[in-house]
Amino acid sequence: MRFFCFLLTILILPSTDGEQDKTVKTAIQDNMETRDELGDVNQDGERNIADVYIIVGMIMGHITPTDHMTWAADVNQDGVVNILDVVTLVNIIFEG
């Protein structure tokens, strides 16, 4: 049985490999967009003052952000991380 599975894997994988990669990548992207919130730079599930500090650190150049941090820090989604994102995030935090 195990050998049969192995054979099946060899036969199926080459034709579906690219497709599977694509599916996995799409799933990861979907997950990133649905699970993560803009502004939650440290990915702790909350948007709070800690995230504000990190974004300020990024703007000041004290923190080298990951791709995800850059995405999450661009709270107003205008393509740049700047003081407007800090203001927007602070407003979100205080407005609840």
- Binding interface with Ca ion (CB under 5 A): 40, 42, 44, 46, 51, 74, 76, 78, 85
Query: Taking a C-beta distance cutoff of 8 angstroms, is the pair 39, 72 a contact?
Result: yes
Give least dist CB 86 to Ca ion, A. 9
Centroid of chain to Cα 94: 24
Which C-beta is closer to Ca ion: that of 24 or that of 84?
Answer: 84
Give least dist CB 35 to Ca ion, A. 13
Which C-beta is closer to Ca ion: that of 33 or that of 46?
Answer: 46
Return the DSSP state at 37.
P
C-alpha span between 18 and 64 (Å, rounded): 33
Neighbouring residues of 69: CB distance < 8 A, sequence distance ≥ 6: 41, 54, 58, 63
Which C-beta is closer to Ca ion: that of 8 or that of 83?
Answer: 83
Give least dist CB 34 to Ca ion, A. 17
